[in-house]
Structure 1
């Protein structure tokens, strides 16, 4: 089993513990949707698609497990580190890359490093494309417009 598959098995187990089926289904949809977007963006931008996908699979896990988005990016980074170190799937350097991306993923108006930007953008892709009837959030508008240009969807 590959690293990403092993991580997904762990995340799936964590998500099965969510008692509300609607929240559980939303969590699966969002984490897998952002993971797919992250893989595509990583391939396009010349970044590591496996690490990008792993970061995406973990980026909101803390929020779903705890039912709160309060400081979820920072708390989620700590949970991701715990999971990655516990499973032994990544080197310390890879863990740092993944956790930094998660730590910064909610700072949509700030520009950070390439992997942080990739995770922010993958999150925005899913937020904006998953339900086209919803308005784009103000803090995500510029980022979404840039993504549309990047993919020739102007």
Structure 2
């Protein structure tokens, strides 16, 4: 079995324990949507799509576990490190790359490492196109506009 498939099985088991069906459905849709976007962005930019997808699958797990988004990126990086260490799916270097991306994914107005940027951009894509009736958040607008140009898309 692939590492990504193993990680998804672990994440699915955790998410399926969420009692609120709407929140569970939303969480699954978000993590899988961001994961797909991260794979595509990473591949286009010459980065490892598997690591990008793994970071995306874990990026909001702390928030889903606790029900709180307070400092969820930083706390989520620690939680992801525990999961990856437990599952033994990644090298220490790969774990650092994934956890850095999770740690920085909420800092949409700053530029960090290339893989950090992949996760931020994938998160923005999902936020902006998952529900087209919602306005784009101000902190995500410039990043979304840049992504549309990068992918040759118009609004």
TM range, normalised to the smaller chain?
Answer: over 0.9
How far off its partner does 1:41 sit? 0.2
Report whether the alignment pairs 1:81 with 2:81. Answer: yes
Pairwise CA distance, 1:53:
0.1
Matched, 1:135 2:116: no
Q: How many residues end up aligned between the 2 structures?
A: 154
- Please say if 1:119 is aligned against 2:119: yes
Q: 1-side partners of 2:102 and 2:5: how far apart?
A: 19
- The alignment's C-alpha RMSD in Å is 0.4
C-alpha distance in 2 between matches for 1:12 and 1:75: 20
Displacement after TM superposition at 1:8 (Å): 0.2
> Which aligned pairs between 1:14-93 and structure 2 lie closer than 5 A?
14-93=14-93
Output the CA distance in 1 between the equivalents of 2:129 and 2:45: 20
Unaligned runs of 5+ in 2: none
Q: Give the Cα separation in 1 of the matches to 2:126 and 2:62.
A: 18
Q: Which runs of 5+ in 1 are unaligned?
A: none
Correspondence for 2:96: 96
Q: The residue matched to 2:147 in structure 1 has which SS?
A: helix
- Secondary structure of 2:115's counterpart equals helix
TM-score, L = length of structure 1: 0.99
Q: Deviations over 1:112-137 (max 9, x none)?
A: 01000000000000000101111000
1:35-60 deviations in Å (ceiling 9; x for gaps): 00000001100000000000000000
1:12 equivalent to 2:50? Answer no
Structure 1 residue ranges, 4+ long, deviating more than 6 angstroms after superposition:
none
1:17 CA displacement: 1.1
